[in-house]
Structure 1
Amino acid sequence: MKPFIIFMLMLAPYAITHAQHRETIHLWPDAVPGETTARHAAVPTSDTSRGVVRLTDVTDPILEVYPANPAHAKNVGVIICPGGGYNILAINLEGYEIAQWLNQLGYTAFVLQYRVPKKEAGALQDAQRAMRIVRSRAKEWKLDPEKIGMMGFSAGGSLTARTATQYNVKAYMPVDKADSLSARPAFGMLIYPAYLDRGEGRTLTPELHIDKQTPPMFLFATADDTYGNSALVMAGALRDAGVPAELHFYAKGGHGYGLRPGNSAAEVWPTLAAKWLEHAGTR
C-alpha cells in the first residue's frame, strides 16, 4: 500500500469527527503569548494505536465549536480539554467524541486545542483565553455566560483544575475586550485527572489555590489508575474548603478510556456525570 494511502487511513477517524464541528475559533488574533515558531495546524503523530488520533506541535491554539441541536439545547456550555500528558492531545477520544456526547445531552461543546508539547504555562493561557472568548460570545450560541464550565481528561483534567483555581492569575496581557471578563469556569469536571498531587508526600499540587470561590466539581477515577491519587487529593481539598464536590472512585478501569464501550469505568462515568451536570449547570 502506498505511503500516502496509509497516511490518509490513519487520519480517517480524525476527519470523520472533525468534519461535524461548526466553527473554528483561533484564540489569539495576533501573536500567541510566548510562541516563537510560526503558526500552523496541529500535527497528527504516527501513533494511532487504539484508534486514538494524537495531535502535537500546537502553535495556533483553537476552539472547535459543537452547538447542541436547537430542538433540545440547554443554555449551558462546556469547554473540553483533552488529555495527553501535556505532550499530545488525544483529540478524538477525549475531545470530539466527548463533544458529541454532550451535544446529545443538549449542551454546546467547545473542544480546546491547547499548546503542546511541554507548554504548561501556555496551556493555562489558552484555557483562560478560551473561557473568556466563550463567555464574551455566549449569546451567539444562546448560552448563559454564567453557565460556561470546563471538562478535562488526564492532563486536561489538570488543566481544568488549574483554570478553576487560578482564574484570578493574570497569565497573559489582555488583547481585547473579552479579556475583561472572568476566566472562572462555572463548574469543573475532572475525569481520571492527573498531576494534582505533586505536593510533598503526594499532597495537593501547590499551584492549585482552593477556596470558597472555587467552582463546584465532579471527579471520577479508579483505584488501578496510576494517577488515581489526584482525584482523591483534589476532592479532599475541595471538601475542606467547603466547595461542592462529587467524587466517584471505582476499583477498575485504568486510564485513558474516554467513553468508549468495553471498559467498565467508561461505561459508568457518563451516566453519573450527566446526572451531576444537569444540576451543576443550573446553579
Structure 2
Amino acid sequence: MKTLFSTILFTLLGSFAMAQNYTLPLWNGTPPLQKEMNLQEDVRDENIIRIANVQTPTIEVYLPNKQIATGEAVVIYPGGGYAILAYDWEGTDFAKWLNSQGIAGIVVKYRLPISESLTDPKEVPLLDAQRAIRMTRANAEAWNIDPAKVGVMGFSAGGHLASTVSTQYDHEVDRAKDAIDALSARPDFSILVYPVISFRDAAVHSGSRKNLIGENASQELQDRFSGELNVDENTPPTFLVHAQDDKGVPIENSLLYYNALNKHGIPASLHIYPKGGHGFGFGMGKGAVENWRSVLLDWINHLD
C-alpha cells in the first residue's frame, strides 16, 4: 500500500511540475530608472485581471510539454493604454493557448509610465521589454527554447511596445549592466494585435501617447515613438491583425506599419476583419475574427 501511495504521489507531483509556470523578477534589486517610494501594485479582478502601478516587473513563464515543444517562444506584452495591464485577457490566457501549440509563452508585467516612482517614464516600458527578451534567451537551454526563435506579441498599447522593441531593440539608456545585457533584444518575429503604432495625429491613440510621452511632447519625441517611422531592413517579420470597426485604435495604425514593412522588404502579413471592435482578444463569438489564431499559427509554422 505504501509503495502504491508513493507511486501515486510521485505521478501527481510529476504532473504538477509539468504544468507549473514560473514567475521571475526582471531585475535584481530596484529596477533601473526607478526610485524607492514604497508604492503598492494595484490588482483588480473585474472579469479581466487589471494590474496598475507595477513596481516589480516580472516575467511569468509558461512552458509546453517537451514532447510537443517546437523550440519557439513568444514574449507577450498585454495592453491597457500604458495605464493598466489586461493581464489575463491579453497575457496569461494567450500563454496557455500557445503552450497547447508547443510554443513557450512569456508574459511580461512591465512597468507603466504613469507611476510616480519612475525617473524617466518614457524609457521604462521599452527597457522592461528588452530585458524580457534577453532573459528568455539567457534561459533558453533550461526552458527548451531555441534562442533564434524568440518572438514578441503585443495587444493595443502592448502592440505599440512590441513594435517599439522590434524597431528600437538596441536603444540604450544610462544604467548599470550585467551579463544578460550582452544578449540581443531583437525579436525574431513580431505579432501585433490591434496595435497602437503611430503617435502622429492622423492615427494616434491619445491615451497611450499621453501616458507614455506626455500631452505636449515634442515632434521629435512623437516621431521616435511612431513605429512606422522607425522600420528598417533589420525589423523582424511581422504579423498584424486588426478589425475594421475598431473605434479605440484606428485601423490606420496597422496599415501604416504594414506599408513601412513592405517598403523595406520585410516579410509581413496583414489581416483585416470587418468586425471585432477593439480588444477582441481570442475573438470568441465575434464572427470571422475568431479564426485569426489559426491564421497566426499557419504564419508561425511557415517562418523561415
2: distance between equivalents of 1:184 and 1:257?
Answer: 27
Aligned residue number for residue 121 of structure 1: 123
Aligned residue number for residue 248 of structure 1: 271
1: distance between equivalents of 2:89 and 2:262?
Answer: 30
Q: Is the 8 A contact 1:27 1:130 kept in 2?
A: yes
Q: Return the match for 1:206 from 223, 235, 238.
A: 223
1: distance between equivalents of 2:287 and 2:173?
Answer: 38
Distance 1:141 1:39, change over 3 A: farther
Aligned residue number for residue 96 of structure 1: 92
2: distance between equivalents of 1:213 and 1:231?
Answer: 19
Aligned residue number for residue 216 of structure 1: 237
Aligned residue number for residue 7 of structure 2: none
RMSD of aligned alpha carbons: 1.9
1: distance between equivalents of 2:40 and 2:93?
Answer: 20
Q: Is the 8 A contact 1:258 1:266 kept in 2?
A: no
Deviations 1:146-187 (A, max 9, x none): 111100100110000000000111145353101011110000
Q: Highest CA radius of gyration, 1 or 2?
A: 2
Structure 2 letter corresponding to 1:131: I
2: distance between equivalents of 1:229 and 1:175?
Answer: 38
2: distance between equivalents of 1:266 and 1:41?
Answer: 37
2: distance between equivalents of 1:264 and 1:117?
Answer: 35
2: distance between equivalents of 1:278 and 1:96?
Answer: 22
Structure 2 letter corresponding to 1:125: L
1: distance between equivalents of 2:159 and 2:296?
Answer: 14
Aligned residue number for residue 213 of structure 2: none
TM-score using structure 2 length: 0.80
User: Per the alignment, in what secondary structure is the counterpart of residue 85 of structure 1?
Assistant: coil
Q: Given the alignment of the two structures, is residue 62 of structure 1 paired with residue 61 of structure 2, yes or no?
A: no
Q: Return the match for 2:82 from 80, 83, 86.
A: 86
User: Per the alignment, in what secondary structure is the counterpart of residue 152 of structure 2?
Assistant: strand
Aligned residue number for residue 101 of structure 2: 105
Structure 1 letter corresponding to 2:301: E
Distance 1:61 1:265, change over 3 A: farther
1:266 Cα deviation from its structure 2 partner: 4.6
Distance 1:257 1:171, change over 3 A: farther
Q: Given the alignment of the two structures, is residue 31 of structure 1 paired with residue 30 of structure 2, yes or no?
A: yes
2: distance between equivalents of 1:80 and 1:136?
Answer: 17
Structure 1 letter corresponding to 2:157: A
Distance 1:271 1:41, change over 3 A: farther
User: Per the alignment, in what secondary structure is the counterpart of residue 138 of structure 1?
Assistant: coil
2: distance between equivalents of 1:86 and 1:273?
Answer: 25
Deviations 1:97-141 (A, max 9, x none): 100110011001100000125344211100001111111111111
Q: Given the alignment of the two structures, is residue 45 of structure 1 paired with residue 47 of structure 2, yes or no?
A: no
Q: Is the 8 A contact 1:58 1:113 kept in 2?
A: yes
1:214 Cα deviation from its structure 2 partner: 0.5
